[in-house]
Amino acid sequence: MAKRKRQGIIAVTGASRGLGASSALELARRGFTVACLTRAGKGIEEVPVPKRLAPRIIAERCDVTDERSVARALAAAAQRGGGLAGVLNNAGYHIRGPSAELATEDFEAVQRTNVTGVFVVAREAYPLLLANGGGMIVNMGSFFDRLGVPQNLAYAASKAAVGAITRCLAVEWAAQGITVINVAPGYIETNLNREFLSRPAVREYLLPRIPVGRLGTPREVARLVAVLFEEKLHYMTGETIYMDGAQTIAH
Known catalytic residues are 155
Cβ neighbors of 174 (< 8 A, separation 6 or more) are 234, 237, 238
CA gap 233, 21 in Å, rounded:
23
What 3-state DSSP class applies to 152? coil
Q: Is 83 left (phi over 0), alpha (psi -120 to 50) or beta?
A: left
CA gap 158, 160 in Å, rounded:
5
Measuring CA to CA, how many Å separate 39 from each of 13, 16, 49, 248? Answer: 9, 9, 18, 33
